[in-house]
Each structure stands twice: as structure tokens, then as C-alpha cells.
Structure 1
Amino acid sequence: MDNFRLESPQSSIYSPNYSFAFKFENEHNYRKTAGWMGDNWHTSFYYSLAYVTFIFFGKIYMSTRPEPFRLKGPLALWNVRISSFWTWLFILSKAPELIDTVFVVLRKQKLIFLHWYHHATVLIFTWYAYADEASTGRWYSTMNYSVHAVMYTYYALRACGIKIPRQLAMSITISQILQMIMGTYVTIYAYYCKSMGQPCGISFSTLYAGIAIYISYFILFAQFFISSYFGGSKSSSKKEKKVQ
């Protein structure tokens, strides 16, 4: 497939411009990796298709098993994995993050729409945005990294059988909602700047996709928060499923 980018070929948002940078940061050729992502961005659809296919057939298979897989050890290990560094590896990390759902399916837990919709679409969008060298990319990745750092620690502790205050789970979901609000604002602001003719290294196609995705995430996370914590059910705590 032909490379679909770029509207702003001189963009350098992924090159290190900090007061201190490690040697491997300076040696990283972001334009080469962005070019590869652009030439192969359709690969993200293959990952998402395989992911949704696993969900469908995995649930069918698990319905034939009298007991779910326990997977306590592997689940705990998975949640304490070291986060990928910087933007490119952040994008690539979205593919192995699909394994989160493997644990949900094999343990016969309830798989909500928000969980697999978020996983499948965020992989495609982040891949596309990176190949576009979107100027909003650092906002997206920094917010996501921050939320995930707390979230995966929380789920790793739960997987180890450690009881965590319900208020912490609520705060994580609130932080996810705030992330979606901020993501929507940043994307709309970038759209405004670009519409006004101001220099903004992002394509309109990425902006349209970003606005649609962030708004849909906000709606779904808000619904999840309300139904999980204010649904009026005594078993509402059981609805606290992992969503990232």
C-alpha cells in the first residue's frame, strides 16, 4: 500500500528535544520508523481483525469448558510488564496489549463492548497518527502512559490477590474519562489551528478520526463509570473490568 502521509514533511515532533536525551534516543531515526508505519499502516487492521476473531471463537470455545482458566500467575506477570519507551514503542505496544483480552476470555469473565472496541480502534488510530507524524501524538501518548502506569499496577496487585480500595478503581476510571476529555480538546484545538492556517503538523484525516474516536471513548467510559459505581446494584463492584 502506498504511503498516505504527509502534510507537514518537516515535522520533528518525535525527535528528542529535551534538556537531556539518552544516546539511543538521538540515534533513533523517527522519520524512518514513521515511513515504515505509513507504508504498513494497514497491518494494524490485520492485528485488530485477528483480535476480534479470537474474541468470537475464544468465547465459543470457553463456553464448552465447565471451568475457566485461572491464570493467576501469568495474569500477575502480564500486568507488571515494563512499559515500552517513547512514542514508537508506545504505538507498537498496542499490539501486545490485545493480550489483555485473552485473559478475560480464557477466565470466562464478562467482556464488555468498551473493552474490545477500545483495544481494536486505539491500535489502528495510534498507528495511523504516528505515520502521519501527528503533532498531537505526544499529548496522546503521555496521557495514556500516565493512566496505564497506575492502572496496570492496580490490576497486577489485584491479580496477586491483594485487596485494593474501591475508591482507587473509581479514580482510575475518572482519570480515563479526563484523558478522553483532554484528548478531545487537544484534537479540536489542533483542528482549529489548522483551519485558521496556523502551522500544525497533522492531517485533517487524522483530526477527523481523532475527534470521532475520543468522543466515542468519552461516552463509553462515562457510561461504564455510571453503570459500575452508580448503577444501584450490590454487585456493581464485580463490573470493574479492565479497560485501557
Structure 2
Amino acid sequence: MVLLSTYFFVHGGSYTYLGQYNWFCQPVNYGTDDAAMAVTRLGWWYLLLKLGEFLDTIFFVLTKKFSHISLLHVIHHSTVAWTVWMGVNFGAGGQNAFFPFINCFVHMVMYTYYCLAALGPEVRKHLWWKRYLTQFQMVQFVVGFLHAAVPVVYDCGFPPYFAYILMGEAVLLFFMFRNFYKKAYKGPSSRPAHKAD
């Protein structure tokens, strides 16, 4: 997953925000030129990646590990898959490409952590930064919200209804991750911050 997230960040970014896209506000290119078609293809592959991430929920159900399934987990993966599907079907690229772009960067860091943690207790005890992954995700939602809000107040040719969908998703996920963070790291039963999870 580290490699896939890196691929989508770098390759997808080369067509969007590391390429010719305007960082402030980018309209959707509904054309059939090579760049527009490449972004659309990447969008479909990104959707498959997001659906693949949701497979862990199915595996938890099949192996009866219901304690691993949370409302946050289900809502996060299902809303992201839905908004990616909406974006790819009705407006691939443009302002819609920003959230997947930053999300891939966050997932590069997150899956690196999980990869290192899977190496065992000897490595895991040095991984003091798990709580900061959740903070990083919350920052992602704030930045995503602010970026999505631009076409609502500034007409750059990006459909505002997409902006409202992205803003709603960012708000929902921010508060769900914030609640998770409070329970996991700030609540009375949470572990001290210096111990690795």
C-alpha cells in the first residue's frame, strides 16, 4: 500500500498538482485530450484502490473480528469510495483531484508506519508517532475543506455542488477522527503518549 499510495501521489500529481494544475482553483477538464483522459483513468484506478482498502472490513466480518470494525472505519471507507465514484463519473480532475492527491501523501506516511509496526515488537517500541498520524489525517480534512470551499466563493469554472460534497465529507470525517483521537489518546483509559501502540 505504501508503493501504491506513492505511485498515485507522484504519477497522479504529475498530471495535476505537481504538473499544470492551479493550486488555488482548478476547473474540471471535460475534454478527451490525453491529459483529461489520463486523470480520468487514474481516478478509476484510485477508486479501485479505495475499494481495496475497504476489503479489510469484509475480511474482519468473514473472520468474525467484529471488534476491529468501528463506525468510523465503515463511514470513512464508504463515504470516500462514494465521493471518488461521484468525482470520476461526473467530474474527474479539477478541484476534485486535490483530496486524493493529499490523501495519497497521508497514506504513504500511514502505511509506512503500519509496515514498520508489522516488523514486530522490537521495531514497534520505537514507533512513538502513531497518535500524530491521526492528527495528520485531521489536518488533511481541514486543508481539504478549505481547498474545496474556494469554488463556492470564487468562480473558476468548477461546479460548486462538488465543492459542497467535498466540504461535507471533510467536516464529517474531521469530527469522526477527532472523536476517535479523543477516545484513543485523551480519554481516561488511553495509554500515555510516550508508549507505542
What is the TM-score when the length of structure 2 is the normalising length? 0.70
- What residue number does 1:122 align with? 80
- The answer to whether the Cα contact below 8 Å between 1:94 and 1:122 also exists between their aligned partners in 2 is yes
Quote the Cα distance in structure 2 between the aligned partners of 1:32 and 1:154.
30
Q: 1:232 aligned to 2:191? A: no
Specify the code of the residue in structure 2 equivalent to 1:230: K
Pairing partner for 2:113 from 144, 154, 160: 154
Find the structure with the greater CA-based Rg. 1
Between Structure 1 and Structure 2, how many residues are aligned? 165
Q: 1:221 aligned to 2:182? A: no
> Structure 2: 5+ residue runs without aligned partners?
1-11, 21-32
1:228 positional shift:
0.4
- The answer to whether the Cα contact below 8 Å between 1:14 and 1:87 also exists between their aligned partners in 2 is no
- What residue number does 1:190 align with? 151
| Superposed CA offset, 1:193-225 (max 9, x none) | 13xxxx23x323212211111100011011111
When the two chains are superposed, the root-mean-square deviation of aligned CA atoms in Å is 3.3
- The answer to whether the Cα contact below 8 Å between 2:148 and 2:163 also exists between their aligned partners in 1 is yes
1:112 positional shift:
1.3
Closer, same or farther in 2 for the Cα pair 1:220/1:212, shift >3 Å?
same
Using the TM superposition, name which of 215-224 and 89-98 deviates more.
Answer: 89-98
Residue correspondence of structure 1 range 1-244 to structure 2 within 5 A: 16=15, 18=19, 30-31=36-37, 34=40, 86-105=42-61, 106=63, 108=65, 109-131=67-89, 132-162=91-121, 163-165=124-126, 167-194=128-155, 199-200=156-157, 202-234=158-190
What is the TM-score when the length of structure 1 is the normalising length? 0.57
> Structure 1: 5+ residue runs without aligned partners?
1-12, 20-26, 38-85
The percentage of counterpart residues that share the same residue type is 24
Closer, same or farther in 2 for the Cα pair 1:235/1:15, shift >3 Å?
closer
- The runs of at least 4 aligned residues of structure 1 exceeding 6 Å deviation read none
Quote the Cα distance in structure 2 between the aligned partners of 1:155 and 1:15.
26
